[in-house]
Structure 1
């Protein structure tokens, strides 16, 4: 029953800032309750409400009074849920005293990540009483890192207005979310022209890469969720990846789309809006063909349509992106034109991919002024909280890269 109720609240939180300190709201004063038994806790992680750990019997937690069969409490950047049957009022005016840190201290712009269930302690010592656990596959914001008398690092976190401590032996520092970049997808037997082009991936390689992501438990994120991560507004899983495609090529609709759809994956398609075709083209693997209006519409159950500019996807005589030679106003007008042209597919065109990865100060300013929230580059690396939202890094997985290479590249062990 409780699980059904929890899932019924999901729509109240998806895509919102429900994570903004519900217990400090004037409308919902905090109430301290004590657990009568070990209690499961739930929270929204990405677009799902999932089990995120436990609170040990006898622990005091600040919760928000609710008319439902559960209480809400602060959990990371969002809201946690706990069944009311596991709690009772704290006797008298007793409340928890956390003397080892400041509950109101701002977060450190860093997370820990869990790859198994980990113990949360009441003090930075494995000899202290456990407060509860955090489940496998979580990113969780850190207040601070500190050392114990053995020089062991501990992560200080906050759950339900309580301070908790996780050993660095149990969890890892968050090294960022990989944003994967693809362009052209072709079968090996038909790839006679683009075989040595680094931006062309074979169907077999792409299928194997997506199968590996599925089998290892990765969640594919939207750019909206990535923005929540960059701006510290959303809880996300540890095993997470963003899949992006630049240009809007027909081959992506023909080959990548059915694979992604089969696996239930989401991806972002950065479209050159001036190259959208009125009608589908007859397939020809020897040329670069672009998706039509109907193909873009048909693939929107997988692809989120975003901008790759309108007329600026060109190079000059020196093979440099023409964007770098344009005035601020010219760039701004193109960005705005692209957003308007793509509005027929998506009223929320908020993200930009710079053509050929080329950008300068004028382009960054124009992207912001045109109404984009973030922009991606071709600079190699992962995306981390607090990064400049208009200079986000990405990763290329080449057709010749083994699955072991891919695993190392997107692993949290690699920065």
Structure 2
């Protein structure tokens, strides 16, 4: 009997210890960077084809799984565009892009992206849509593209020109070079009509806006950039290997190459780290806790010097000037203190997301907090 009592007391003490021990709000294990995006560039995924821009399915999957395990967060094209307009993105944000519209995206990359729920965008040479098997490397068909964009909420497409993905006789890219004796007006019409044709051919294959482009060979010129903008392109990607930030020119967005066979998962991680921009003294984004709770479908009420939030079945208490909150009877440690500012109780956005267990995004233009859309297959 005494042995049973001793075991009971021991278990009770363990339970009490767990209750009294502060919990760390669940969050990414490491923060390598914030408020910037690593835009990755791929072309061809194939197990037997060989080139400087072709990697195997195994390497592609290893790269993505490695980044996931290290705490990188993959975002959609829509989230990236919202970020460029002022919205927040998760720490360690990554956007996956592909160029050329190869069929291998559908047969090799898409199954991996779908299984890992990783968003991606493919920039398509739309002239190849008429005869997908006629190009040197087979291209995706309209049906394959439409299937992916409509079966998921995280696969997007964009323009890689209609018929300007080649070099002219003088070695210049067709998007920026001049044909023999081509006038300024003729050049402008050629580029403008090609971009409009590209957008038009993709229009029926997705429900998302078609306002992004990747420059062939990563090459553009001030005039070419102005012309694609006139055709409705708002965001365009180069191959300059840098991080993307809000201050980046929306029509000159850099990308980091990830699609060469020698880029191991470890090398890709280091490649991103080398390009992270220093952010000295950057303060965490803070939000009005009560307003955020209401925008997330919950409520808030003041209780003395504290603010009580209710979201669904969960209740949280924020104590002003404390770097902790309570969830029920559990004390949860925060990274930043809860503050009272201008009559509002504020909390760091990352702390709020970690506390309630939802990745959040803040849009300054509307002053709203919302949960990030979870990648899903319909």
User: Same fold by TM-score, threshold 0.5 exceeded?
Assistant: yes
User: What residue number does 1:339 align with?
Assistant: 199
Residues 259-278 of structure 1 aligned to structure 2 (within 5 Å): 259-277=112-130
1:299 to 145, 148, 151: 148
Structure 1 distance, partners of 2:118, 2:33, is 26
Q: Structure 2: which 5+ runs fail to align?
A: 1-23, 179-186, 278-378
- How far residue 299 of structure 1 moved from its aligned partner, in angstroms, is 2.0
Residue number among 251, 258, 270 corresponding to 1:408 in the alignment = 270
Please identify which structure carries the higher strand content. 1
Larger-Rg structure: 2
Q: Quick one: distance in 2 between partners of 1:268 and 1:172?
A: 24
Q: CA deviation at 1:291?
A: 0.6
**Structure 1 stretch 371-380 or stretch 211-220: which is displaced more?**
211-220
Cα distance in structure 1, aligned partners of 2:250 and 2:274: 21
Taking the TM superposition and a 5 Å limit, the aligned residue runs for 1:116-135 are: none
Shift in Å at residue 216 of structure 1?
A: 2.5
Match of 1:179 in 2: 39
TM-score by length of 2: 0.59
Matches within 5 A, 1:207-246: 207-232=61-86, 234-246=87-99
Distance in 2 (alpha carbons) for counterparts of 1:171 and 1:267: 22
Cα distance change on mapping 1:386 and 1:135 into 2, 3 Å? farther
CA contact (8 A) 1:267 1:303 kept: yes
Residues matched between the structures, number = 242
Give the corresponding residue for 1:351: 212
Give 3-state SS (helix, strand or coil) of 1:276's partner.
helix
Query: Offset at 1:175?
Result: 7.0
Per the TM alignment, residue 179 of structure 1 is displaced from its structure 2 partner at its CA by 0.5
Q: Alignment partner of 1:270: what SS? A: strand
1:180, 1:171 → 2: CA distance? Answer: 18
Q: Quote the residue 1:252 is aligned against.
A: 105
Q: Structure 1 residues 413, 387: CA separation in 2 closer, same or farther (over 3 Å shift)?
A: closer
In the alignment, the residues of structure 2 paired with residue 228 and residue 236 of structure 1 have an alpha-carbon distance, to the nearest angstrom, of 9
Greater RCO (CA < 8 Å, at least 6 residues apart):
2
Instruction: Select the residue among 166, 188, 191 that pairs with 1:328.
Output: 188
Which residue in the other structure is 2:370 paired with? none
Deviations 1:324-372 (Å, cap 9, x if unpaired)?
A: 1242222111111111111011241010111111100111101211111
Shift of 1:246: 0.4
- Mapped to 2, the partners of 1:387 and 1:238 lie a distance apart of 18
